[in-house]
Amino acid sequence: MRKKLMVFCMIILIMSLASACSEGDDKATNLDQKQNPSENEVKKEPEAAKQVEEVVIPEEIEMTLISFEEMLKELPLTVVSTEYVVQDTEYKSLYPDMLQAVIENHTNVDVKDAIVAFAAWDQNNLPVKLKGNIDFSEGTYVSEINYNDINLVAGGTYGEESGYALDPECKVSSFVALPISFVTFEGETWENPYYDDWKKLYEGVKYHDELTVEIVLKEAIFESKEGSKNKSVVESISESELLSQLDAQELGIIETKYVVQDTEYKSLYPDLLQAIIRNDTKVDIKNAVVAFVAWDENKLPVKVKGSFDFSDGSYVQLVNYNDINLIPGASYGNDSGFEIDETNRIQHFKAIIVSYESFEGTNWENPLFMEWKELYEGKKLN
């Protein structure tokens, strides 16, 4: 009996040793696999290393205030001068002080709209929250101002006769300005790549000459992609065709005049845009609607604004010619016109009949108006 028990114990011991050896072999095999990866894994390692090598961290450089401002003068749109303008020493609610920033266009295209940022300080060089003359907020340390419809030609400047009107309680002793962005008449845009750096330097910070800023040099040029020469040829051909069709209409504009009623008291006797209508139809015309478009001395589009118009005006201005009693073969408009705002910059303008109503109640709408509008609205005059 004892002999059988000993044999049984020996069998169990042998089986335990065999199992331990098997587990050891498995662990060795797994270890070998980890130490000897597959071909796919070997191939992936160089690719990962290659990706890491291609990552380039932009280098930051520290610039002084003077060096940074000098670099900003090389941008496509820059501020060339600033001035604190006092319009009136007593009635500041009516004639508020202004922050004037004159901008210059260094591109080869005409700029329609721009945005300019301002930051300011008091007499102790502490930051001032800028607040506009009609501003119900608390103001901001950096104020972004729209320069809309500025018609800034290539190489030209804008801002000599305007400015950012301040709240009378806003005490500013010094300020700086920076163009943030602009839009051309072709719809192309540019954004200042250093605006965030400029804000980091000036926003809510006490001013002193030792200010520095860390920046990453960026591409800041502007290149127009519009083929303006070819575009002009296409437009001039379509304009010729359109004018020929307009001349063939029975009711049309036969003459336009810019009338100056008074050289001094323009608020009382505003200038007029005069469009003379001739009726070659066979009906008596009661009412008509005439549209006007206009341009400045550089042939850039101007928003037409009436003398009692509280809006900004529009590039296509519709004017009612009511109760004109225009009989067949007669003309109307020699003794009247559309009164325009005294601040207008109009040097050229065109007009078209949009629609008319006869005394019999019939209505006519010009089928060429939309083509005319597409050709001229907000476009440079060829």
**For residues 56 and 90, is the Cβ–Cβ distance under 8 A?**
no
For residue 343, the 8-state DSSP code is T
340, with CB counted inside 10 A (0-12, 13-18, 19+), is buried
User: Which amino acid is located at 185 in the chain?
Assistant: F
E strands, 185-284, where? 189-191, 212-215, 251-259, 272-279
For residue 381, the 8-state DSSP code is -
Reading the chain (382 residues) residue by residue, the pLDDT tens digits are 444 444 444 544 445 544 544 444 444 344 344 444 454 444 455 555 555 556 667 788 999 999 999 999 999 999 999 999 999 999 999 999 999 999 999 999 999 999 999 999 999 999 999 999 989 999 999 999 999 999 999 999 999 999 999 999 999 999 999 999 999 999 999 999 999 999 999 999 999 999 999 999 998 889 887 644 444 444 545 889 999 999 999 999 999 999 999 999 999 999 999 999 999 999 999 999 999 999 999 999 999 999 989 898 999 999 999 999 999 999 999 999 999 999 999 999 999 999 999 999 999 999 999 999 999 999 999 8
pTM of the model: 0.77
For residue 58, the 8-state DSSP code is P
CA 24 → CA 16, 35, 133, 351, distances in Å? Answer: 13, 16, 86, 98
Question: 233-259 pLDDT, tens per residue?
Answer: 445 458 899 999 999 999 999 999 999
> CA 271, CA 255: separation in Å to the nearest integer?
17
Task: HSE, CB side, 13 Å, CA atoms: give it for residue 185.
Answer: 25
